[in-house]
Amino acid sequence: MMRQYELVDRVRRYNPHTDEDLLNRAYVYAMRAHGQQKRASGDPYFTHPLEVAAILTELRLDDATIVAAVLHDTIEDTGVTKAEIDTLFGPEIGSLVDGLTKLKKLDLVSKRAAQAENFRKLLLAISEDVRVLLVKLADRLHNMRTLHYVSPEKRARIAEETLDIYAPLAGRMGMQNLRDELENLSFRYLMPEAFAMVSTRLEDLRETNRELIKTIEKELTEELALRGIEAEVRGRQKQPYSVWSKMERKSLAFEQLSDIFGFRVVVGETDECYRVIGVVHTKWPMVPGRFKDYISTPKQNDYRSIHTTVVGPGRQRVELQVRTRDMHDIACFGIAAHALYKDGQEASAPALSHESNAYNWLKRTIDMLAEGSSPEEFLEHTRLELFHDQVFCFTPKGRLIALPRGATPIDFAYAVHTNVGNSAVGAKINGRLAPLLAPLVNGDEVEIVRAEGQIPPAAWESIAVTGKARAAIRRATRDAVRAQYAGLGRQIVLRAFERAGKKFSEEKLRPALPRLARSSIEDVLAAVGRGEMFSGDVVKAVYPEFKEERKAPVPDRTEPGWFRMQKAQGVEFKSPGAAGAALPIRGLQGDLPVSFAPNGAVPGDRIVGIMTPGEGITVYPIQSPALEAFDDQPERWLDVRWDVEDSQALFPARIIVAAINEPGSLGAVATLVGEQGANIDDVTFNKKSPDFREMIFDIQVFDLKHLNDILSRLRVLPMVHKVERVIG
């Protein structure tokens, strides 16, 4: 266990002005508070907060953060209160410890809704003071280092949570060293065989290339020195999890990876970075497409370096990262680098938020909480944003837009503005028209073609890569559906008021909203449109004295009088199968009985025959979902096609009509079908609410064009809400 003086010495190495008395008091206080508590390993519990503090000293953090780390479990696991810590150590440290206590209570790996809500709370807590996040990440790192002491079930849960939440969050804050260790520890426990395989191969490769690495380091250092550039050149090897991820993502074997080894060149000034690139590209040929300048366009986690790949000594591909020492600090420590002690001077705490793009990203993410309608959407958005491999694109006016790898113009449009995304209908990439699904690459200039009144298709949600785009598409789709229901509801309510002999006005409806338990008129109309509220209740809410004496009759197709009415209107009813047994279809086998699928098929459909031994052949439209049941029985499939050039036969089809429940609606639909030269075989009713009627018609038509013409004409009937063909 780390001794009291050792903790003070660790801090004094980078902060000669540390408050030793504060550190000593925190050490003694926490040790007494935890008393005889033990960890799963059997060690005194107090060793854990000390190790967390030790990790933070490696990040060279301020006294308040170190003390908060030492005390971070006292409120949760002992009888200590926040008020007591405020009194003894000050409100700043008390606030940090309280924030960490709240995070300790969160269980991120749980049911999805609870997980999303807890993750939202986590980000809210760390948005107040990012040092809470730094302590939390150090806490998680030490827990991962000692994870072998807990049960296998708990081990897997914690490792999954770390890989899913904490490692990406550390990366998003620019803390790459910490992220690498968290990922590798999680990888070891979640996929031990894969971890062992990759680690062994990396170790073998390191031994094989040890001399080559030294040769390249020496040759590159000497070449730069000849040009007057003092640089530190070091070879580096990719981490096991990074290697495994690339193998999985690109479906590569280990032997196919060409960038397992790389070299980092650290210089003093920014202009020297570009001089290094000039020297390197002059001496060795560059690999096309492998140059990235993150100095002029930093990543959103503040990462800055120049990346290039050259064919170096021995015809080996050599990947180089060139950066200054300050850039190297940020690349290693991320957001913590803004609070480093430099030359004995402590960085001011407010500078942390002002200097760090990563922290500003965190604040923007919190602001997006208001845009998500549920914690799950927020979790989805944030998780997508955490994985920050990016492409950089530009608007026609030169605005830089950073997007995740694999993003499309859809994501670009929503990154510019939600309204731009909602109205997008096309895109120009580098001046040429391109599909909205085209993947973007670094340097693309993207112009979005817009059309006012456009509603984004719901299918875009599965195509979009960014959480912001997905959430906006989902929201626009919901709003469009809501507007459609509200429009239908308005028609229903207007007809209800007309039947009641009353005048409808929004001014009269507004005072009645509390009686309808709705907060807005649109809510009422949408509820009526969805069938959740009876239109008569709206009339009664506005005119409480109104009593509805008449109920809309529901026609009974079994009544003789009803059939006489339909006959008089020219509608002819036939029994199922009246189209005849001799089907005009080529490709049928022998004299087997042939029938149509339950919902029919018509000329113009692509069709397939399914043979059932002992029963015959059933003809299905190729788009019928029922065919999925025969996917594993190819021997039953028959290649059939229509032979209807001279046929005047009628063929079965099924349609579903949702209409307003009012007198004459059924008659209007049946009349239109008859007027179009189709027969009605059968009608069934699904009465959903007092305001709606859903009718299923089995009809007979000549072909697909005939059927589509009937559907189009039905859709324009004023009482009809929805018409569609049923394919089963």
Active site residues: 76-77
Whole-number Å distance between alpha carbons of 256 and 332 = 28
Q: Report the Cα 213 to chain-centroid distance in Å.
A: 41
β-sheet bridge partners, residue 619: 596, 609
> What token pair was written down for 242?
């990074």
CA-based nearest residue to 497, from 543, 466, 465: 543
Q: Is 257 left (phi over 0), alpha (psi -120 to 50) or beta?
A: beta
Residue with tokens 């994870």: 147
H or E element at residue 501: none
Strands in 356-406 per DSSP E = 390-394, 400-404
CA distances from 347 to 338, 458, 543 (A): 7, 48, 69
Residue ranges of alpha helices (H) inside 90-175 are 91-104, 112-128, 130-145, 152-161, 167-172
Burial classification of residue 503, based on how many CB atoms lie within 10 Å of its CB (0-12 exposed, 13-18 middle, 19 or more buried): exposed
Residue ranges of alpha helices (H) inside 444-466 are 460-463
Residue ranges of alpha helices (H) inside 209-239 are 210-226
Whole-number Å distance between alpha carbons of 476 and 459 = 12
Q: Spell 382-397 as b/e; 16+ CB within 10 A means b.
A: bbbbbebebbbbbbee
Give the N- to C-terminal CA distance of the chain in Å, as an integer. 70
Residue with tokens 């002002």: 354
DSSP code of 81?
A: -
What 3-state DSSP class applies to 265?
Answer: strand
Whole-number Å distance between alpha carbons of 711 and 697 = 12
Degrees (nearest 5) of the Cα angle 75, 78, 82? 25
Whole-number Å distance between alpha carbons of 681 and 598 = 13
H or E element at residue 151: none
Whole-number Å distance between alpha carbons of 670 and 700 = 13
Residue 281's identity, in one-letter code, is H
Q: HSE (CB half, 13 Å, CA atoms) of 451?
A: 6
Whole-number Å distance between alpha carbons of 60 and 525 = 61
Whole-number Å distance between alpha carbons of 131 and 335 = 10
Whole-number Å distance between alpha carbons of 585 and 579 = 13
Q: Spell 431-453 as b/e; 16+ CB within 10 A means b.
A: eeebebeeebeeebebbbeeeee
